[in-house]
Chains A and B, each alone.
Chain A
Amino acid sequence: MVITVDGQPVEVQRGVSVAAAVSAAKGYTRRSVCGEARGPLCGMGICFECRVTIDGHAQQRSCQIPAAAGMQIATEVVIERPAASVGHGRRAADVVVVGAGPAGLAAATAVVRGGQRAILIDDNPAVGGQIWRAGGVPVAPSIELHCQTRVVDQPAPGVLRAENPDGIIDFSYRKLVLATGARERFLPFPGWTLPRVLGAGGLQAMVKAGLPIAGKRVVVAGTGPLLPLVAAYLRQHGAKIIAIAEQQQAPLLMKFLSALPPKKILELMKMAPALAGVPVWSSTWPAEAYAGGVTLNRWGKLKKIACDYVACGFHLIPNTELARMLGCAMQNGCVVVNERQETNVADVYCAGEPTGVGGVELAEAEGAIAGTAAAGQGPSKKLLKQRERYRRFADRLDEVCALRPELRDLPRADTVVCRCEDVTYGQLTAQPDTRAAKLLTRCGMGPCQARVCGPACEFLLGWSAPAVRPPVFPARVAAFSASASRE
Chain B
Amino acid sequence: MAKGVVIVVGAGIVGAACADACARAGYEVTVCEAAGIGGGATAAGMGHLVVMDDSEAQFALTDRSQRLWRTLAPKLPAAAEFASSGTIWVAADAEEMTAVEQKHAYYGERGIETTILDAAALAREEPNLRGGLAGGLLVASDCVVYPPVAAEFLLERSGATIKMGEPVVALGQGEVRFRSGAALQADVIVNAAGMAAGRLTPGLPIRARKGHLLITDRYPGWVRHQLVELGYLKSAHSQDGDSVAFNAQPRPTGQVLIGSSRQFGVTDAAVDRAMLARMLRRAEQYMPALAGLSAIRTWTGVRAATPDGLPLIGPAREDATVLVASGHEGLGITTALVTGELIAAILTGGASAIPPEPYLPTRFQETEAYGHHG
Measured CB to CB, the residues of A under 8 A from B are 33, 51, 57-59, 77, 79, 82-84, 86, 153, 155-156, 432-433, 435-436, 439-442, 445-447, 449, 469-471, 474-484
Q: How many residues of B contact A (CB 8 A)?
A: 44
Which residues of B (3-46) have their CB < 8 Å from a CB of A?
35-39, 43
Contact partners of A474 in chain B: CB under 8 A: 217, 294-296
Among B79, B218, B291, B299, the residue within 8 A (CB) of A477 is B291
- Chain A to chain B contacts (Cβ below 8 Å), 24 pairs: A51-B217, A58-B219, A59-B219, A82-B288, A83-B291, A86-B291, A155-B273, A436-B39, A439-B37, A439-B39, A440-B79, A440-B148, A440-B149, A469-B271, A471-B295, A471-B296, A471-B297, A476-B292, A478-B292, A479-B295, A480-B298, A481-B291, A483-B277, A484-B274
A447 / chain B contacts, CB cutoff of 8 Å: 217, 294, 296
Chain A nearest CB: distance from B121 CB in Å?
21
Contact A435 B292, beta carbon cutoff 8 Å: no
B164 within 8 A of A: yes
Bound complex: CA A79 to CA B217 (Å):
13
> Which B residues touch A445, using CB under 8 A?
297
The CA-CA distance from A436 to B292 in the complex, in Å, is 31
| Interface class of chain B by DSSP | mixed
- In the complex, residue of chain A having the shortest beta-carbon distance to the beta carbon of B152: A440
A77-B254, A82-B288, A440-B152 known; A449+B164 contact, CB < 8 A: no
Give the CA-CA distance A480 to B220 in the complex, in Å: 22
**Within the complex, which residue of B36, B217, B289 is in contact with A435, where a contact is CB–CB below 8 Å?**
B36
Secondary structure call for the A interface: loop
B104 within 8 A of A: no
Taking beta carbons and an 8 Å cutoff, which residues of B are in contact with A?
35-39, 43, 79, 128, 148-149, 152, 164, 214, 216-222, 253-254, 258, 271, 273-274, 276-277, 280-281, 283-284, 288-299
A residues within 8 A CB of B290? 477
A83–B219 Cα gap in the complex (Å)? 13
Contacts of B253 in A (CB 8 A): 33
Which residue from B35, B258, B280, B298 sits with its C-beta under 8 Å from A471?
B298
B270 to A, closest residue via Cβ: A469
Contact A476 B39 (CB under 8 A): no
CA distance A33 to B79 in the complex (A): 13
Given A477-B284, A483-B277, A484-B273, A449–B296 Cβ distance below 8 Å?
yes
Is B296's CB under 8 angstroms from A477's CB? no
B295 with A475: CB separation less than 8 A: yes
List 9 other contacts, CB 8 Å, given A82-B289, A449-B297.
A59-B217, A83-B291, A439-B43, A447-B294, A471-B295, A474-B294, A475-B295, A477-B290, A483-B277
Do the beta carbons of B281 and A79 come within 8 Å of each other?
no
Using Cβ atoms and an 8 Å threshold, which residues of chain A touch B38? 439-440
A447 to B220, CA, bound (A): 15
Known: A439-B148, A481-B277. A79 touches B296 (CB 8 A): no
Contact of B294 among A33, A436, A441, A475 (CB under 8 A): A475
User: CB-CB < 8 A to A57: which residues of B?
Assistant: 292
Given the complex of chains A and B, what is the CA–CA distance between A67 and B282 in angstroms?
Answer: 35
Complex: chain A residue closest to B147, CB-CB: A439
